[in-house]
Amino acid sequence: MSTHEPIADRDGDTAPSGAGLPSRSAAVSPAVSPAVSPADEPPATDDVPATGDDAEERGWRGRDLLVLGGICLAVLLLVNVFVAQPFVVPSASMENALRPGDRLVVDKLAYQFGGQVRRGDVVVFDGTGSFLPEDGEPSGIGPALQRFGASLGLAPSDGSVFVKRVIGVGGDRVTYHVGDQHLTVNGVPLDESDYLFPGEAPSTVGFDVVVPPDELFVLGDHRADSSDSRDHLGDPGGGFVPVDKVIGRAEWVVFPIGHWTALDRPAGFAAIGAARGTGAHGG
């Protein structure tokens, strides 16, 4: 009877007991990864929490959006200050060209670089010192927010900004006698049929004024519902608006959509020549 000796490993140790167990050399085949217990297995991809790099990337995205928003706001404010600014029409004084609630775009470069205010232009101006007394701006968060909203065209102005049509420029003589069909500029009858509110006379009061240099005589198109140069003839400024108080020329009505229009200079002003020897312009 022969004895059965256990299989010896290459290092001389006795092989572990148990039928069919592979040798140590077979268990470390390069094609098979070492066994890992379920507790040591890495979590599934969907359950992997964000790493520090991912969180930092999301943080940068948020900051980039804030920076982009700030740049857009800064550009918008710069455009409003120097190029074009929206305004809300607060009253019916310029009907039918402008209606209450209309949004205007005012060209603030129209009178820069040698440009001059011309008769027939619809202008937006600061009436402080001409239509209003010289008072300081009110302080506080409420007035500041109101002025900011007005600068973006989201709110009416604080009452110091007006929109009117230029009838006379520096040196012009503007005259009207109650009952006349037309007012005259430098003796020339002005045809206002293109813009004067239907059925209205050129004025309900008479006047005869000579516009000082670098100032303007302005009227609303809706003469019966407009407080303009006529109403301030006896004031210290005589009802005239200094040219340097003009914010810009109203170019377009952009809202509401049904009232989109360009505010072109009416043809009637072409018949008025410049006043001689006064430096007037705008013919």
The catalytic site residues sit at 93, 164
Sole residue written with tokens 């909203």? 149
Residue 283 · residue 273 · CB < 8 Å: yes
What are the E-state strand segments in the chain? 84-88, 103-107, 122-126, 161-168, 173-176, 184-185, 188-189, 207-210, 215-219, 241-242, 246-255, 261-262
Phi, psi (degrees; rounded to nearest 5) at 101: 95, -10
Q: Which amino acid is at 39?
A: A
Both tokens assigned to 197: 């509110």
Taking the alpha carbons of 36, 40, 44, 45 in that order, is the dihedral positive or negative? negative
> DSSP letters of 53-97?
HHHHHHHHHHHHHHHHHHHHHHHHHHHHHHTEEEEE--SSTTTTT
First to last CA, the chain: 138
